[in-house]
Each structure stands twice: as structure tokens, then as C-alpha cells.
Structure 1
Amino acid sequence: MGEDQTVVQLGLDTFGDRTIGTDGTPTPYPQVIRDVVAEAELADRVGVDFFGVGEHHRDDYAISAPEVVLAAIASRTERMHLGTAVTVLSSDDPVRVYEKFATLDAVSGGRAEIILGRGSFTESFPLFGFDLQHYEALFEEKIGLLHELLKEDPVTWQGALRPPLQDADVFPKTAGGIRTWVGVGGSPESVVRAARYGFPLVLAIIGGQPARFAPYVDLYHRALAQLEQPTLPVAVHSPGFIQETDELAREILWPHYKTMYDRIGRERGWPETTRDRFESEIEEGSLYVGSPETVAQKMADTIRTLGVQRFDLKYTSGPVPHEHLMTAVELYGTQVMPRVRELLAAQPVP
């Protein structure tokens, strides 16, 4: 992660959305997972820098054990870094998180990364026996323990919600440590927490104008300085979709995006989305949808505006058929990434 914005890191994220086939029927979960592995193989071939896999425990997403999927991807790829988007640390155990990712790091030849988060859904809490009343406290306590475990020395630790550890040594050790990020959705407290522990920051910008997150980037850097932490990278995670033309990208994505948005909306009390809102989010918000040139221009603008060192495009939004996702991945690597770097070289970050 150098400071040269002409070599900014460019990645892809997926939650393993349950897709539909060309006949409109839902794809079986095992096939969705195999398709994600195929998408990752293609991403590696076309030069993508990072591939992130989300963790969910609900029927519209196929991936509940991202580390297993990432290990399969590691065996079929050679260069890109592999991580979660995100690991729901609050309902996991820090020791197991360390062990799983240290193992993935070995399998992948040092390419494993963790992105920690509290998760935007809560199904994992009752599933694994955690009380949602402890939502904040669980994350705060567990991130502190994982921070100690990542040092790869024996750990003595005590908290309020998990049994203590006394001089506990955890294996396997890694060759060079595991890069660990914290994903945040816009909470100042979360931004400062990432700085306090010395973790790089991922901003999940999934709606509205990206520029509104500039104060969080500034807060993070000020917090790092005040806490006497080294300068660390900031990344952006945002949804998008790429096809050969703007019109084709919008027409393919719209019905699937609406399916996804309206389902979540029914759970959270949002009104149904409209085509006008969808178009507005593409034009002015945080949906990176269109031809390679359109998406590259918008990505470069966000990278400049926020001064970030990595951009991860979530290339799946709803049950878009696998064949369209493969096209999006290929266009991202072969056309969008080179164009973004070209644009940043011509007009660097101020």
C-alpha cells in the first residue's frame, strides 16, 4: 500500500448473493459458492488486487463460512490478496478468527487479510447464542483480544463477556502477520476505535454522495496522529456493476437491485425503491454502475475526493445471473482498473 496514487489498490467484494439462472429460477446454494470461486479465479487472472468475501447467515446469501471459500480460492489463484468483507467479530471468537486466518495465510502464501466489522445484519447473534443487548460491548471486547492475538505472542487477557486467557499461545504462527482492517459505516466512534488499535480503515459507502465521508477520513488521520500511530491506509467499499454500455448495465441490474433493496427494506421499515431513486444513486450517489469508462471516472473521482489508498467494488447486488457477474469481473480487471490508474496519473490526489 504505497502512497503513490497511480498504483492505488483496486479490489472486488462479493457477499455471495444467491443468483438466478437464465430461466429465472434460483441457483442452488452449492452452485452459487462454486460460481464465486470461478469469479475469483477470473479476478486473479485479470489482475485484481484484492478479493473480499462477506459473511452472512440468511437465505439470500450463500456464504456463511467465508474462510472456507477463501481457502478454495487460494488454491486456484496466485497473486491477489484474499479477505473477508466483513468478518462479524461480535458473534465469532477472536481465537478462532486468528487460527482460521493464520491457516488461510499459510494456504495462500501470505495473502490473507481480515476486515473486521459488527455486521449490517443481526442473524448471527441469536444463531450463536449472543445477546443483542451486548452488541457494542461484544465488538469492543473482542477487537481488543484479537489485537493482542495478532501480535503472535502468548496472551494474558480478561474481559467481561468471554472467559479469560492466561499465557495462552495460539497456533499456527504466520510468516509475516495478517493485515487486519476495520470496516465502518459512518460512526465516528468506530473510526477512532480503528485508529486506537492501529488498524487500517475501510469505509462502507453504500448510499449518498461519497464526499460526505471526507470528515471521517480526516478524523481517522487526526486520531492516528494524536495516538502516535503510524500513517495507515484507508479503503472504500461501494456497490457497482459493469457491462459494455451504461444502458445495458442499468437495465440488467435494476430488477435485481430492486429485489435486494426491497427485501431489506421490508425488514427495516424502508419504503420500496423506485427507478428514479436508482438512477439518482448512480448519477450522484454511491452506485458505480455503467460502462468501464463511466465506472472508472466515478471511482477515480471518489479516490481523489477522499484521498484513499484502496477501492473495493462490491460487484454483486441482488440475484444477478452468474454470467453477467463474470462479464463485470472481466471488464473491471481489463478495462476499469487500467483506466482508473491512468486517470489518477493524469490528475493525482491533491
Structure 2
Amino acid sequence: MQIGIDSFVEVSRFGETDAQRAQNLIEEVVLADQVGLDAFGIGEHHRKEYLASSPAIFLAAAASRTRNIRLSSAVTVLSSDDPVRIYQDFATVDLLSNGRAEIVVGRGSFIESYPLFGYDLQNYDELFTEKLDLLLTLRESVSVHWQGKHRASLNGQAVYPQPVQQPLPVRLGVGGTPNSFARAGLLGLPLTVAIIGGEPHRFRPLVDHYRDAWKRGGHAGEPDVAVHALGFVADTTEQAIDQYWPMYQEVFTRIGRERGWGPISKESFVAQCSPNAAFLVGDPETVATKMKHYNDSLGGVSRVGVHMSGGGVTHAQQMRAIELLGTKVKPLIG
């Protein structure tokens, strides 16, 4: 099982400027590479609390300062972007990193990008379906023939640059929609499941739905399931909870007000840190045990991406968490 970090590059709660926060992010990726973590993902958001509106630019900056770690989006909001431009951006990251780029595409859990770039939310699923088709077509040849409704057709135009990896890796990021799991399986795409609460075993029927769809699609190889989960590591579980809780409370209270959720309590947060629940929060042994629980619950997991956006904890705490993931948690996973 690979271990990675996913970040939305949260702005600092501790007085650092956005410029300093951006530099801290690059330091985080460099350290993750140095301690042997497998992947670093940066997720696209268009909100004042996050800096990652353009993940490819952060990943390109990290590419020249790292050697082994895979550099991924987590996710790219494909529905409100141009697949050609996405392909070009990540092909460039792939060249800069000598073949370490990945794209995780999804429809996004927030909707700010749709009006920002002039898209109608009534076309939410149709946009994604069409643009995913174009993105996958772009991987097949340099010159592209493609017809669409929401984007101008391509009639043999060549798309450059071309990446080191052929084809450029694309994963499908999903939440809890059965059709999204089935789509990934039928297309033969690797899957990244975002689990931000509850108990991992509850996602097993959806993951099995993906694996069944993979078989129906007649694809070679084995289905690939990765997980994106909230987490934080400290020297003790008590420290991890105390350091992570204020950020979690602030973020989910704000989102709760937007979406009509009830108030966030520390008791409910601590419950999500319990052995069978979703959060990967604790000391290294606790986190490693919970990663194994994810693997067992879902019938095999290729990678766990721990969502640690930084900014909500001090830079020193974030760096220590990254160090512990690489030097303590990863050896326990084997």
C-alpha cells in the first residue's frame, strides 16, 4: 500500500502571508519526498480559504525540487475546465518531473468554479461526461478527432507537449454516487474514493460495484482502488487530536453553515478518530492500524492519501506529521 498526502493548500491561521504559505507548501512536498512518501496531491478549489486554484502550477514548482514522489491533482475539477489545457499542463508537469505526474479528475465537492468559468450547473453531469471523454481521447494520439456539445470539436489538431508517460495517468475521484463508481469501472480507470466521515466498510458495496463494472467492461489487469481520507499524525494520539481539532472545527463549521448541517462537536470528532471510523488521526501506530483497516474493509487499497492541507496547523506541526508518516507509519505498513 502506498502512502501519500493530499492538500488543498489552506491559508495560514497563524499569521503567515499567502506567499509564505505557498513556500511552505513546497517545503512540505520536498520533505514528503525525502522521507519516502509515495505521492503528493494538490486539490483544486476556488475559495478564499485555499490557495490551490491551479494545482498544476504548484506541482510544477515541486517537480524541480523532488526526485521520486508522484505529483498528482486531488482533484482537478474537470467539468469547469478545458481538457486540452489540463492535458497540456499535466504533460508539462510530467516532463519537469521525468514521468511522475498524475491527474485525478472529478466534478468537485464545491461549485464555485462553475459560475466563475461560465458553466451552468444544470449541465453538471453532462459536462463531466463529455470532458472526460475528451481527456481520455487526448491520451490516444497526438492528432485528435473529437466531437462535443459543450466544447468546440477537434478535427485533427495536434496537442503538445506530449508527456513522458504514455498514456498520461488519469484517475477518477468519487464521493458516494454509485454511477460514478460504475463509470470508473466501465472505463477501466483507477479509482480514488473520498471518505471524509462514517465507517470505511460502508463504502465496500460501492467499491464492489466498481470492481463488477470493471469486469463487465472487459478490461485487462486488476481494478485499482485508492482512498482520500482526513488525517493528521503526531507523536501521541492526544497531541494529534488537540492539534487537528481546532482546524477541523473551523472548516466544517463554516461548510456546515453553507450546507445546512448541524453544529460540529468535539465528541463527534473524537468518535471519528476511533478504531473503526474514518479519520486517520493519531500516533504512528494508530494511523498505520487504521490504514490496514481501510485495506481490509475495502478488499484491498493501492494508496491512502492523507488529507493534511496545512495552514490549519502550524508549519512545524505539519512538517512533523509528514516526517512521522514517512519514517514511522510507512515502515509499519510494509
Instruction: Output the TM-score relative to the length of structure 2.
Output: 0.96
CA-to-aligned-CA distance 1:212-256 (integer Å, 9 cap, x gap) = 111122111111111101223110110101000011111111111
Alignment of 1:200-279 (within 5 A): 200-230=190-220, 231-279=222-270
CA root-mean-square deviation: 1.2
Does residue 1:132 correspond to 2:121, yes or no? yes
Does residue 1:322 correspond to 2:315, yes or no? yes
Does residue 1:287 correspond to 2:276, yes or no? no
CA-to-aligned-CA distance 1:79-101 (integer Å, 9 cap, x gap) = 01101000000110000011011
**Percent identity over the alignment?**
46
2:310·2:318 contact (CA, 8 Å) conserved in 1?
Answer: no
The Cα shift of 1:152 comes to: 2.8
1:67·1:100 contact (CA, 8 Å) conserved in 2?
Answer: yes
In the alignment, what sits opposite 1:187? 177
Alignment of 1:1-350 (within 5 A): 8-21=1-14, 25=15, 27-177=16-166, 178-230=168-220, 231-283=222-274, 284-306=276-298, 307-316=300-309, 319-341=312-334
1:206·1:286 contact (CA, 8 Å) conserved in 2?
Answer: yes
Report the AA paired with residue 316 of structure 2.
E
Please list every run of 5 or more consecutive structure 1 residues that lacks an aligned counterpart in the other structure: 1-7, 342-350
Distance 1:83 1:51 in 2: 6
SS class of match (1:316)? coil
Aligned residues: 330
The Cα shift of 1:317 comes to: 7.0
Report the AA paired with residue 238 of structure 2.
E
Distance 1:161 1:236 in 2: 31
Distance 1:195 1:76 in 2: 35
Report the AA paired with residue 162 of structure 2.
K
Distance 1:247 1:101 in 2: 39
Distance 2:160 2:6 in 1: 28
Distance 1:148 1:41 in 2: 33
The Cα shift of 1:69 comes to: 0.4
Report the AA paired with residue 290 of structure 2.
K
The Cα shift of 1:316 comes to: 3.0
The Cα shift of 1:176 comes to: 2.5
Distance 1:74 1:152 in 2: 25
In the alignment, what sits opposite 1:348? none
